[in-house]
Structure formats: C-alpha cells, structure tokens
C-alpha cells in the first residue's frame, strides 16, 4: 500500500453511503470510450436532476391549489419510482453501498478490498436509487491507505466533458444544500443542567 493520497479538489464534496463497484482494466480508457461514457453520464445526471427537482424547493406559492395538486402528483410519482426501483433491484442487484466522497475530479471510498495504486479501471457509482443507472467514470487509482474501517481508496477521473462537469457540480451543490437544510431542521439539543 502506498501513502500517496490525492486530495479532493477544494470546494463542495458529495458525501454519502452509495452503491459502488470498481472494475480493473488492463489500460487507460481510449478517447472514444471516454466520450461514450461522458455522454452516458450526462444523460444519467440529467435524469437525476429532473427527479431531484421538487416544486416545494422553488417556494412558489402563487397558485396554492395548483401547488397542492402538483405535490399530490409528485408523491404518486415518487411511489411509482420507488416500486419500479425495487422491482429492478430484484433482477439487477446493485453493488453494496460504501462510504463515498465525490467531487468533479475523482472520488474516495472505503472498501474491504485493496487495489493497486496506478491501476486503471471503471468506477460505477449510483447517486440515486430512483434512477438505478450508474455513473461510470474511467479512472486511475491514485491512493490506497489502510484505515480502521477498511481500505481508503482514491481514484482520479479521466477526461470529463464540460457539460458533464457542470451537471456533476450542480448535483453536488444540490446535495450539499439539502444536507445543510436537514442539519438546520434538526431540533437543537436541550442544554443539560447539572443537578443542584
């Protein structure tokens, strides 16, 4: 194992427990393969972006009856997506979820298996269970480090198209914003008063 560890790009990071799979390849992905993967990833992120939009996020209460109707449709749609995702998971099981940190240059995950630094491969990561299509990035292992919870692995992505980078930044920002909102909604713990 090597001590070298690629530091994530300064900025927002998408941190979550996500299904992830690494497939080692003999060599770096060819430019044509990279272009095809970028196109697939752009499409997947577009779907995730559409599925992640909620009318309630916009705060538009100009037409309350319409807003209520849209909310009902949204709930029904999410239920349908959930049922379809469960059905697909029976026939196409997802890889096990692992702790992931993702940015626009690469990702880091904790694994029980080790990988060889410098090896090339494809990393599949599922950002949304409502859209059971993976993002597939060609990458290179840039760091492997033993930790208490397993092995911390760092992979750097190959060439990302400008559109893909922009969509990925948008998804990372939205995830960060929702994480902050969830933390703010949690009730503050009551200060404990020591007994007199």
Domain spanning 14-54+94-185 has what CATH number?
A: 2.40.10.220
**Residue 95, burial from CB neighbour count under 10 angstroms (0-12, 13-18, 19+):** middle
Structural contact between residues 139 and 124, judged by C-beta atoms closer than 8 angstroms: no
So where are the chain's domains? 14-54+94-185
Q: With contact defined as beta carbons under 8 Å apart, do 130 and 87 qualify?
A: no
Look at residue 189 in the predicted model and tell me its pLDDT.
53
Say which residue, 156 or 80, is predicted with more confidence: 156
3-state SS class at 154: strand
81 has pLDDT over 80: no
Confidence of residue 5 (pLDDT cuts 50, 70, 90): very low
pTM: 0.74
State the average pLDDT over residues 182-186. Answer: 77
Is a pLDDT exceeding 70 seen at residue 89? Answer: no
- 21 close to 171: Cβ distance less than 8 angstroms: no
What confidence score (pLDDT) does residue 19 get?
94
Give me the pLDDT at residue 42, please.
Answer: 95
Q: Is residue 152 classed as helix, strand or coil in its secondary structure?
A: strand
Task: Say which residue, 70 or 166, is predicted with more confidence.
Answer: 166
Q: Which of 35-39, 59-63, 83-87, 126-130 has the lowest mean pLDDT?
A: 59-63
């Amino acid at each position: 194992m090597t001590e070298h560890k690629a530091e994530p790009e300064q900025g927002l990071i998408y941190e979550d427990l996500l299904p992830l799979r690494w497939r080692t390849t003999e060599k770096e992905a060819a430019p044509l393969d990279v272009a095809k993967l970028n196109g697939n990833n752009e499409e997947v992120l577009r779907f995730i972006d559409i599925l992640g939009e909620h009318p309630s996020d916009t705060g538009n209460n100009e037409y309350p009856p319409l807003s209520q109707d849209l909310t009902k449709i949204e709930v029904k749609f999410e239920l349908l997506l959930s049922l379809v995702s469960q059905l697909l998971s029976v026939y196409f099981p997802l890889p096990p979820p692992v702790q992931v940190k993702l940015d626009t240059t690469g990702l880091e995950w904790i694994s029980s298996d080790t990988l060889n630094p410098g090896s090339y491969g494809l990393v599949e990561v599922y950002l949304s269970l409502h859209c059971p299509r993976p993002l597939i990035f060609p990458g290179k292992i840039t760091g492997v480090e033993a930790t208490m919870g397993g092995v911390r692995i760092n992979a750097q992505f190959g060439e990302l198209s400008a559109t893909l980078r922009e969509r990925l930044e948008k998804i990372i920002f939205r995830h960060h914003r929702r994480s902050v909102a969830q933390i703010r909604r949690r009730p503050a713990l009551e200060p404990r008063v020591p007994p007199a």
